[in-house]
Structure 1
Amino acid sequence: MSRSLHELSAVALAQQYRAGTLSPVEATQAVLDRIAKCEDKVNAMYFVTADDALETAKAAEARYRAGEPLGPMDGVPITVKDIIASAGHPTPSGTSAADLDKLETDDAPPTARVKEAGCVIVGKTTMPDLGMLSSGVSSLHGTTRNPWDLSRNTGGSSSGAGAALAAGYGPLALGTDIGGSVRLPAAACGVFAHKPSLGRIPIYPPYWGRTTGPMTRTVTDSMLLMSALTKPDARDYMCLPPADDDYAGAAPMPLKGLKIGLVRNIGIGLEPTDEMLGALDGAARAMEAAGAIVEPVDPFLTRSMLDGLDLLFRSRALGDLEKRGPEKAAKVLPFIAEWAQGAKGRTAVELAEAVNQIMAMRDAAVSTTEPYDFLLLPTSPIPAYDADEPCPGSDPAKPFEHITYTAAFNQSEQPAASLNWTYTSGGLPLGIQIVGHRFDDLGVLRLMLSLEEMRPEQRPLPEL
């Protein structure tokens, strides 16, 4: 079955570019046309840079004609999340409390790397206020909707990135992840995302637990992105030493003899639905059939750990809002404002204990993984929830009940990736997650290559 241009992977586009059967200009125009057709329904884009994108595509076209492409992603369309700085544009982090007249003078490291690779940036994608929701609801951007069902949420905070991929706005996207923010929208929107080990992909400004992650529709495309994004950048003082990992040339991982820890219940938060557990168990059976040893893992997270993470993030958000002043802070999403106020009056001793609980979460994640080669667990315990909800149940006292399967691995700095496995009876995606040992990004991606080949047949992109 032939695919429309906007559905093609980065690898497929580059093959056609090299063969001379397709130009970057044609592919970019097809993506821009798709955005024009679908954006009123999806609302995944903060803004679209059509003229700049076409100019970049023309330059790539000329390089291919001269036989001098910059590399395997030259001329491939990509979107970049609001919070990842791009020179000449504002970085409002999804909130109306931002100063939209303040323009960036420099590209953040991930933006710089994809430009150097020749990628065609078609625009910036939406996110919720301050990146502090796994939701597509924003005071600045409005509601981003899930292309699989427009009444459903995209997850977040890389909400626009996930929706853009599922809607056909190009094969590549850059998101960020501090508690699940590339993996959760990938699961909700039926695409792939990799959260790297902390420091594997340089970012600026760096922050505890925060990473940039590739989001794509195929694992191979994310591995192409990793080849560019992992190049060092001195601005990130948490950046890991350069590695010799060949992401683009890596082969799928044989499963025979691998020891896999199966996490059906992590210990806190929402319980996985029966359909989610069915998808998870299906992946486990497929791994066993390929020769892996799959063993159940006991719950390892506690309420105190999650509450500690909640208080740290509330305190961070409250400080951010107070620095903006009351007039601007009044423009933030009311849910976020109410949630942040939960840190008001808390003591330094309480915050120190919250940090201790986060360290306990880190220890639990690392020690649970230690006996195994990888962990297998849900990405989200539930499929996509209602589009207009900031979190399932819309309760500011319990905003993180649906991110418990992802958040611990930001604190532990471990690589983790989400791959769609199958669908609910209503047609919503169900993502599974693989977690590896710290620094083993290549191993996680190679295992995901194998799982991508083993999973049930996938559905075509939503028609919209």
Structure 2
Amino acid sequence: MVASKSQERAGAAPAMELMSTSEDSKAEYMYVTVRAPRLAAFPLKCFTWLLETGVTSSLLLPKLKKDNLITKTFLESRYEEPPMYIPQYAHEIVELVQEHMVNRVEPGVMPTVRVKSAVEGLAPHMVRDANNKVEEKQGFRHWTIRDYAQAYTSGRLTPTQVAERFLSAVEDSNPGMNLFIAVDSRDMLAQAAAATERYKQGKPLSVLDGVPIAVKDEIDCLPYATTGGTTWLGKARQVKEDAEAVKRLRSCGAVLAGKTNMHELGMGTTGINPHYGASRNPYEKTRVSGGSSGGSAAAVAAGICPAALGVDGGGSVRMPAGLCGIVGFKATFGRTSNAGVLPLNWTVGMLGTLTGSVEDALIMYAAMHGALPDDDIVSFPPPANLPLLKDSDQESTGGIAKLMGDLKFAKYSKWFDDSDEPVRNACYRALQLVQKSFNTKIVEVTVPELEEMRLAHFVTIGSEVTTSIGGDYRKLGVDSSGADVRVGFSIYDSFNNREFIAAQRMRFRQMHYHLEIFKKADIIITPTTGATAPPLRSNAENCGELDYGIGAKLMRFQIAGNFLGLPALSVPIGHDEAGLPIGLQLIGRPWSEATLLQVAAVIEKLCSPFRRQPEVLYDLLL
């Protein structure tokens, strides 16, 4: 919680001139000035004690809620809308999703068939030399899933050799980088041996066969416990089978390669975990990787694996992807099954992927997507489309040029510009490149009540996590949890039914605001984060930290993807002067995953000259 005040001020001037059309709106953008001190080490422990002590807690919590506008927003305001307890979408918006240059995926198709269809829609694979170079001029690129498959089919490497290199890289990086919580070498080598035999027989299951994929410690994956980054949750919850997404990846031959580090219970933006160490940013080891899927993001950015699974409850996939210079993608709520994902938050948390490229995001999506009949969703997904990315290299001709020329980007300039100058400049440069290449239209819009939506999401995610695991936390976890987690639970326990229901009424309002925007435009564009990766301070590593000033910057553009369940993607577009990565976020209409991936592939190519190699990089295919 942060003490904050709102003020009206002029937005920062655009870094570059863009052609756009405007809409009239009387809504004002609320700039929030954070007044909360950063707390770590002994001061944080003292604050935790005060919140957990009856008398001081009864005095502090009401003041915190009042200072943070929760009282005004949810108890004093009167909303006419009914509550919306789970994301649901109007049919008229679903009918607007007319995606082109796609292959439709019919229900019931096996994951291996979907992956084959996705690969067939990609441009011909460019085989890179041992120095990871191709003929065309471009910046740094990670090895892709197809690069791994090519190394295997050519006989240059086997999945077993790559698994051994993976294990060596993990051993070398941990504990220094703190990317993994658990890796079972015997299990991984057994998976790799089976894949190696399939390649010897000329019968790989798919392009994913033998490819190492890491799994966030919030997703069930045998033989591991799922602890959510804690030391106690594995004792309260037994893992009996793989999560549905993991099952689908296994059926494609993927080698599930261990559980990645995460911010404890997903309750933070930095990736600092007092039990397993802070997962560090491969572009600068003294910087955070981001939360909560920081271990997954950093493992991909460091080249230890081409793809990893994460869970996105408040930007927890897109945020670390942006900070670590990779692609972070989450689909529409309900598009991919959450079965077997730790139930920390039912209506805002969604499975996502972290990959080194957009094409790998597509391959992972093809393998994993598809709801189960008993998934707890309201708007059941329409048939999915897999985009044809083979035209993305043609910047001015072919179908992609028409697709991009027909698109409309929605941009709320005051919100967009509420970011640090290096972030803002890089994002404007990316948009200018898109407009110069395709004359894509940019529509100026307004998103009302953004701060109210952030608070509503905070009340919702907090209420859900304390309802889901609060009982086990009070029995097993209080004394062994980090101080930032204990502060979070103290605040979450203070939310009442009036605040929760008011937050769900705000969800209804925000769904209306966003769906109205999608009648005018196809994609909402924002920076992924308002700042590049912040420093990792030594006094935070043992007990965590509370720094809501930084947290507000990192989460500024993330909330709609979770609170409203909209598909969203972060694509890397460059770096600041210190070499820290910057991402651009695309937020799409419900069920428009194919369009997001198509546009992201175009932006990825346009901005590829600006990408740099990370400081920490392991090459498993060299």
TM-score normalised by structure 2 residue count: 0.69
Q: 1:144–1:406: structure 2 CA closer, same or farther, 3 Å change rule?
A: same
Tell me the residue number matched to 2:99. none
Asked if residue 380 in structure 1 is aligned to residue 523 in structure 2, the reply is no
Within 2, Cα distance between the matches of 1:393 and 1:141?
Answer: 15
Asked if residue 304 in structure 1 is aligned to residue 452 in structure 2, the reply is yes
Q: 1:37–1:3: structure 2 CA closer, same or farther, 3 Å change rule?
A: farther
Within 2, Cα distance between the matches of 1:210 and 1:105?
Answer: 21
Q: Percent identity?
A: 25
Partner of residue 437 from structure 1, selected from 584, 589, 609: 589
Asked if residue 351 in structure 1 is aligned to residue 500 in structure 2, the reply is yes
Residues 266 and 301, structure 1, Cα contact 8 Å, conserved in 2? no
Q: How does 1:9-408 map to 2 (within 5 A)?
A: 9-100=144-235, 102-204=237-339, 207-238=346-377, 240-241=380-381, 243-247=383-387, 251-252=391-392, 253-254=400-401, 255-266=404-415, 271-290=418-437, 291-319=439-467, 320-388=469-537, 394-395=546-547, 400-408=552-560
Tell me the residue number matched to 1:2. 130
Superposed CA offset, 1:315-346 (max 9, x none): 33444334432552222221121133224444
Name the count of aligned residue pairs.
462
Which is worse superposed, 225-234 or 52-61?
225-234
Residues 152 and 159, structure 2, Cα contact 8 Å, conserved in 1? yes
How big is the shift at 1:198? 0.8
Within 2, Cα distance between the matches of 1:62 and 1:130?
Answer: 38
Aligned-partner SS, 1:402: helix
Which is worse superposed, 173-182 or 243-252?
243-252
Residues 179 and 280, structure 2, Cα contact 8 Å, conserved in 1? yes
Within 2, Cα distance between the matches of 1:209 and 1:101?
Answer: 23
User: Residue type matched to 2:159 in 1?
Assistant: P
Tell me the residue number matched to 2:48. none
How big is the shift at 1:251? 4.6
User: Residue type matched to 2:534 in 1?
Assistant: Y
Aligned-partner SS, 1:353: helix
Within 2, Cα distance between the matches of 1:88 and 1:180?
Answer: 28
Q: 1:7–1:249: structure 2 CA closer, same or farther, 3 Å change rule?
A: closer
Tell me the residue number matched to 1:449. 601
Residues 339 and 397, structure 1, Cα contact 8 Å, conserved in 2? no
Structure label with greater radius of gyration? 2
How big is the shift at 1:7? 5.1
User: Residue type matched to 1:311 in 2?
Assistant: V
Aligned-partner SS, 2:574: strand
Aligned-partner SS, 1:151: strand
Asked if residue 462 in structure 1 is aligned to residue 615 in structure 2, the reply is yes
How big is the shift at 1:213? 1.1
Residues 236 and 472, structure 2, Cα contact 8 Å, conserved in 1? no
- Tell me how large the CA RMSD over aligned residues is: 2.7
Q: 1:246–1:345: structure 2 CA closer, same or farther, 3 Å change rule?
A: closer
User: Residue type matched to 1:370 in 2?
Assistant: K
Residues 263 and 294, structure 2, Cα contact 8 Å, conserved in 1? yes
How big is the shift at 1:111? 1.1
TM-score normalised by structure 1 residue count: 0.92
How big is the shift at 1:418? 0.4
Within 1, Cα distance between the matches of 2:178 and 2:495?
Answer: 37
Aligned-partner SS, 1:84: coil
How big is the shift at 1:433? 0.7
Within 1, Cα distance between the matches of 2:536 and 2:428?
Answer: 28
Flag the structure with more relative contact order, 1 or 2, with Cα contacts below 8 A and sequence separation at least 6: 2
Q: 1:423–1:69: structure 2 CA closer, same or farther, 3 Å change rule?
A: same
Aligned-partner SS, 2:182: strand
User: Residue type matched to 2:612 in 1?
Assistant: R
Superposed CA offset, 1:184-223 (max 9, x none): 0100110101110111111115721221112110111111
User: Residue type matched to 1:338 in 2?
Assistant: V
User: Residue type matched to 1:237 in 2?
Assistant: D
Q: Extract unaligned runs of 5+ from structure 1.
A: none
Q: 1:167–1:233: structure 2 CA closer, same or farther, 3 Å change rule?
A: same
Which is worse superposed, 332-341 or 72-81?
332-341
Which is worse superposed, 100-109 or 315-324?
315-324
How big is the shift at 1:231? 4.0
Q: 1:380–1:264: structure 2 CA closer, same or farther, 3 Å change rule?
A: farther
Aligned-partner SS, 2:431: helix
Aligned-partner SS, 1:305: helix
How big is the shift at 1:85? 0.5
User: Residue type matched to 2:385 in 1?
Assistant: D
Tell me the residue number matched to 2:94. none
How big is the shift at 1:399? 5.2
Within 1, Cα distance between the matches of 2:162 and 2:304?
Answer: 11
Residues 301 and 364, structure 1, Cα contact 8 Å, conserved in 2? no
Q: 1:414–1:347: structure 2 CA closer, same or farther, 3 Å change rule?
A: closer
Within 2, Cα distance between the matches of 1:287 and 1:398?
Answer: 30
